[in-house]
């Protein structure tokens, strides 16, 4: 099985958008983020990639926007 290593994941927008989307999916299901991270911080992180500002509780909208953002990255590759 081939393994892929991401040298610097913080500078990889595809990796960060995918992990942010996964984090939002868990929050939308009711999980609480770890200490030091608020739900609004995760929404702001999503907004950094989508260019939108999300209000409190807009998890599903942010997930959908990140999904389309990742799809556009896949089309460019």
Q: Is 21 among the domain residues?
A: yes
Say if residues 75 and 55 touch (Cβ distance below 8 Å). no
Neighbours of 59 (CB within 10 A): 20
Res. 63: pLDDT tops 70: yes
Taking the C-alpha atoms of residue 50 and residue 26, their distance in angstroms, rounded to an integer, is 19
11 DSSP assignment: G
Q: Is 5 among the domain residues?
A: no
Q: Is 2 among the domain residues?
A: no
Res. 3: pLDDT tops 80: no
pLDDT tens digits, one per residue of 39-53:
999 999 999 999 999
Q: Is 53 among the domain residues?
A: yes
Domain count for the chain, please give it.
1
Domain that holds residue 53: 13-76
């Amino acid at each position: 099985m081939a393994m892929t290593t991401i040298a610097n994941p913080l500078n990889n927008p595809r990796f960060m958008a995918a992990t942010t989307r996964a984090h939002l999916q868990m929050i939308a299901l009711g999980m609480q983020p770890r200490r030091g991270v608020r739900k609004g911080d995760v929404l702001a992180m999503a907004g950094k990639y989508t260019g939108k500002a999300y209000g409190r509780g807009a998890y599903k909208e942010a997930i959908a926007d990140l999904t389309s953002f990742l799809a556009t990255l896949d089309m460019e590759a």
